[in-house]
Amino acid sequence: MSPGDGESAAADVGAARAAAEARVRARHADGDLEAATTQALELYGPELFGFLQALARDDDTAAEAFSTFAEDLWKGLPRFRWESSLRTWAYALARNALHRVRRDPHRRAERNVPLSDIDQHPNLAAAVRSVTQPYLRTEIKDRFAALRDQLDPDDHALLILRIDRRMSWRDIARAMPLEGEGDDNAAVDRRAATLRKRFERAKTQLRDLATAHGILPRE
C-alpha cells in the first residue's frame, strides 16, 4: 500500500466516524437518549473495551470498568455539549471509570446509576453485553501487549491512543487531562506538546524491551 492509499483510507475512516457521530448527535438533539447511548456504545464500545483491557491487564476488571463507563455515558450524555468529539469524551469517561474501579473494586452499590437501570433498556443492555466478549489476538500482538504491560500505565495509555486509536495530540491531551489543569486552547496545546515528548520516550522504551525479548532485531 502506498502512502497515498493509507491517507485515503484514514480519510475514509474519519468521514465514516463523523457521519456516525452525526447520527448519535441527531438522536441526542431529538431527546432520544436511549437510542443515542446505544448508538454510541455500538460505535465506540469495542475499541473502548479493548483500551480498558489493555490498561486493566485483567478481563474482569476491564468488564467492570466498561459497565461503569456505560452507566456514566448514559447519565452524562444529556449534558454533553459536543465541544469535543464524542470519541474523545468517551475515552476520557472510560479512563476515569477504570481509575474508580481500581480505587474501589467493590463500589457497585455506590454507582451513580444502578446497573438495573441499564438492564431495563434491552438495547442498551445488549450493546454492553456484545462489547464485553473476549477479544482474539495474534501471538505477536500478545507479545507486544505483554511488553506494554511493563510500561507506566499513563505511557501505556498514551501509546494506545496515539498508535492504536490514531487520535490527534489535542484529543489525547483532552482525554488525558492533569488534575487542576485548564481546558483552554493554550493549556491543551501545552499538554499536547508534553505528551508528544512523553510518547517518544515511551516508544523508545518499548522498542528497547522488544529488542531485549527478541521480538525486534538488534541494530
Residue 34 pLDDT: 92
Which of 102, 135, 168 corresponds to the end of one domain?
135
Q: Which CATH number covers residue 170? A: 1.10.10
Residue 80 pLDDT: 95
Which of 92, 109, 135 corresponds to the end of one domain?
135
Record the cell numbers describing residue 17, joined without a space: 466516524
* Residue 8 pLDDT level (bands cut at 50, 70, 90): low
Q: Name the residue with cell 436511549.
A: 34
Whether residue 209 sits in one domain with residue 114: no
Choice between 65 and 12, residue whose per-residue pLDDT is larger: 65
Distances 151 to 11, 57, 114, 143, 145 between C-alpha atoms, Å: 31, 12, 34, 14, 10
Whether residue 174 sits in one domain with residue 75: no
Whether residue 34 sits in one domain with residue 82: yes
Q: How many domains does the chain have?
A: 2
User: For 99-138, how does the pLDDT look when each residue is reduced to its tens digit (9 = 90+)?
Assistant: 999 987 565 444 444 444 666 677 777 888 777 755 444 4
In terms of residue numbers, what domain contains 91? 10-135
Q: Quick check: 73 and 93 in contact, CB under 8 A?
A: yes
Q: Quick check: 37 and 74 in contact, CB under 8 A?
A: yes
Does 203 map to a domain?
A: yes
Whole-number Å distance between alpha carbons of 192 and 190: 5
Whole-number Å distance between alpha carbons of 82 and 77: 10
Whether residue 196 sits in one domain with residue 100: no
Residue 129 pLDDT: 77
User: For 133-184, how does the pLDDT look when each residue is reduced to its tens digit (9 = 90+)?
Assistant: 554 444 566 777 888 889 999 999 999 999 989 999 999 999 998 877 778 8
Which of 112, 135, 158 corresponds to the end of one domain?
135
Amino acid (1-letter code) at residue 82 = W
Instruction: Report the pLDDT averaged over residues 1-15.
Output: 63
Q: How many CB atoms lie within 10 A of CB 168?
A: 13
Amino acid (1-letter code) at residue 169 = W
Q: Average pLDDT, whole number, for the chain?
A: 84
Does 4 map to a domain?
A: no
Whether residue 145 sits in one domain with residue 44: no
Instruction: State pTM to two decimals.
Output: 0.64
Run of H or E residues at 214: none
Q: What is the CA radius of gyration of the chain?
A: 18
Residue 13 pLDDT: 73
